[in-house]
Structure 1
């Protein structure tokens, strides 16, 4: 029996997950975030069309996730040491917090960061090391390990934590009531009991590629997770092209939907029972939840987008009035719910694929393979770029946003947010962003994108300022 199959779970200790050493972290000017310019040839733009480079990357219904996946194709998937020092956290002084810029970095030399989730003073980070790391007040608090493969998604519901993995499994963890630093594995979705129950009936099997599998199980990587507004349902989407619906209190799979014609990269549940999915087939679809007694069904109500470029990220603002979609062409499209989800416009701020999106207050954050994060402020349907947060040396893979609880930081600048960005450079960066910061001029945008210092250069000393677009390697994110 594997360690993570045991009922008690597996927890961090000095041998399994060594703790980082604390030290000093060098910072550049906090008002001009630093980075090296994107090396486009290192992380090329990914399109929905098949790659001309390798026939294995073609649109093949029998293609496995490991073929041409970002894990194997990404040049950032290296085992060499991180270019950063072992200095997980070095904050600014209370009176010197930047209005819009880098606050600090969390660094572990153990894997690329693929997922983040923040709640209160806790931050959860998932990586391809199979570890889920917990940070409290931006200091390492605890960690636990799952043998279920790369951690692609994390969502939090009360004292429960759900993690989606490369091997198609969803793990459920519970915070110990006696010790909040201890996270015990509470189960797996689907449960072993349900697998046994459904396996005896042939009609419960569906054809996936060249084999049959139970409809309640994902047959490929779980790429994303989302919770319903009332926290009673969990939505999981996968590279197996399906969307599955789970009841949290019973751990039952209520529904499995063949949602797209290619890998589903993002799912977001919103208000009024609406659920949005985006996939490598270049489409964004809208699903509506309907309930009759205990029976829950989701029906397709609208397709917002159909394009050649893969849809890589989705986000919805808190009121559900605006839906954002990032894609492999570097663009962010958005729609207005009050106008029957009519197209509202396009945000053009990135040179490479948009890999993640987050919305908070009147702000929208877009993280990209070009290693930057664009901060957009919305006024009606007008979006203005406030800042380009640049400091990562690898693609920005995930984002999490929390309201800054420091009352002093919010004075005079309107609402202020703490933004966490996880990257394939193996680090998490922490940014402070105010909604009332002055917008960037074109010159200032160029300065923020081009600013860099010695700490942000690759460990091998290489440096490139190429700005061309490369060829496609993969559409799964």
Structure 2
């Protein structure tokens, strides 16, 4: 097992602008708690340090294509509708919802457009599905609620907005309901800047919204009430994700990842700060928690993915280094974690115990990968080999659909197999060429040994995007 180049980093000049990539970058200074070691990586004692991105040029020097040589992980199709950059995705059963910087949310079924509905605002930054309700978070700071018409599932009707008009009117007459936000007074139940992320509690009863206004808010789905607003960070909150046992994680442009604990105090819900997992200069752009709640992943504008293991307590597990530019989105499913980046690629990492290996790099987008959604592929999954359908939305205005096998060989194994095949072919062809020349027959053994030595050196120098942490 191997890890990637510890010297890999993205320069500040390479990080895309907020306006283009839709996250707020960091304005914080570099700080580092004792619990976080940015140089720690998985398989720390490994003698192999391999990465195709340890290059000074513009691209990889691989003599092969990942997709051609990894038939287990490949492109199924592309969804393209020239109306805007794709900023958000949500998948449920056989439907896919896509949000863009147009006023439309599109619904797709079996790789074809199924229906769509229009929002009164522009950029749709987040979509999440809770039972029969679809929640969309927008650039204007509002959360809109939609319902499917049972008699005609192609029709989606807006059923409300968070906060509701009733709650706004009720709060507006109470002076205690106002807070100071950027030198002005505003209702605490309303977001004052773009909504960056939506997530659900583990029991699906609460909705969390993160915003560039530096807060995250807690909404009760049953009656659409805002239960709590937490001033979480010193800069924009780019991501929020809920886990098991009432834990909530937030990531911010101030370079921190914070942990919050949900507690029920009588009839009220209260979130208290528990721990700060990370303090760094680079903005935290995305978070994900695996299904069992045992691992928390954090993507940053420097192209790194940090992760923490949740056993008795949260401890830093390491860093996955596989991208040249900012990690804009993360998704976890089964033993896999997917990282989408501004470098236009998606790295697929498989977790085995405490180690992670890169089993595939999905390429094909011509713009930054902004959002991901993953669903189980029930038709192709077999005993011992779980398969997933992965949706990736990009600023190239397309959504790509991928089939990914959990038990696919990692890139190092594939490269070694391919190099071995090339070795056998070249030794065979070169030996045949030498055999055909009667005058050089005496030197065949020596020449063949030289060829074998040369190819063994090439096998030993294979470079790959590999595991870390």
TM-score normalised by the shorter chain: which range applies?
0.7 to 0.9
The answer as to whether partners of 1:413 and 1:434 remain within 8 angstroms in 2 is no
Q: State the TM-score, normalized to the length of structure 2.
A: 0.74
Query: How big is the alpha-carbon RMSD for the aligned residues of Structure 1 and Structure 2?
Result: 2.3
Alignment of 1:217-232 (within 5 A): 217-232=190-205
Distance in 2 (alpha carbons) for counterparts of 1:439 and 1:225: 32
Does 2:227 match 1:254? yes
Size of the aligned set, in residue pairs, is 362
How far has the Cα of 1:181 moved from its partner? Answer: 1.1
Residue of structure 2 equivalent to 1:44: 14
The answer as to whether partners of 1:189 and 1:251 remain within 8 angstroms in 2 is yes
What's the secondary structure of 1:234's corresponding residue?
A: strand
The answer as to whether partners of 2:27 and 2:253 remain within 8 angstroms in 1 is no
Does 2:165 match 1:195? no
How far has the Cα of 1:229 moved from its partner? Answer: 0.8
Distance in 2 (alpha carbons) for counterparts of 1:173 and 1:41: 41
How far has the Cα of 1:42 moved from its partner? Answer: 13
Displaced runs of 4 or more, over 2 A = 40-44, 56-60, 409-413, 441-445
How far has the Cα of 1:98 moved from its partner? Answer: 4.1
Alignment of 1:272-351 (within 5 A): 272-351=245-324
Does 2:366 match 1:393? yes
Which consecutive residues of structure 2, in runs of 5 or more, have no partner in the other structure?
A: 1-9, 19-23, 29-69, 419-469
Q: State the TM-score, normalized to the length of structure 1.
A: 0.73
Which consecutive residues of structure 1, in runs of 5 or more, have no partner in the other structure?
A: 1-39, 49-55, 61-96, 448-477
Distance in 2 (alpha carbons) for counterparts of 1:43 and 1:422: 24
Distance in 1 (alpha carbons) for counterparts of 2:186 and 2:307: 36
Does 2:389 match 1:418? yes
Q: Which has the larger helix fraction? A: 2
How far has the Cα of 1:411 moved from its partner? Answer: 3.8
Alignment of 1:323-472 (within 5 A): 323-406=296-379, 409-411=380-382, 414-441=385-412, 444=415
How far has the Cα of 1:200 moved from its partner? Answer: 1.1
Distance in 2 (alpha carbons) for counterparts of 1:42 and 1:307: 14
How far has the Cα of 1:202 moved from its partner? Answer: 1.8
Task: Decide whether aligned partners of structure 1 residues 203 and 257 sit closer, same or farther in structure 2, where only a CA change above 3 A counts.
Answer: same
The answer as to whether partners of 1:47 and 1:329 remain within 8 angstroms in 2 is no
The answer as to whether partners of 1:47 and 1:310 remain within 8 angstroms in 2 is no
How far has the Cα of 1:389 moved from its partner? Answer: 0.2
Q: Residue deviations 1:427-451, cap 9 Å, x none?
A: 0000000011110029959x9xxxx
Distance in 2 (alpha carbons) for counterparts of 1:259 and 1:240: 10
Task: Decide whether aligned partners of structure 1 residues 41 and 279 sit closer, same or farther in structure 2, where only a CA change above 3 A counts.
Answer: closer
Residue of structure 2 equivalent to 1:461: none
Larger radius of gyration between Structure 1 and Structure 2: 2
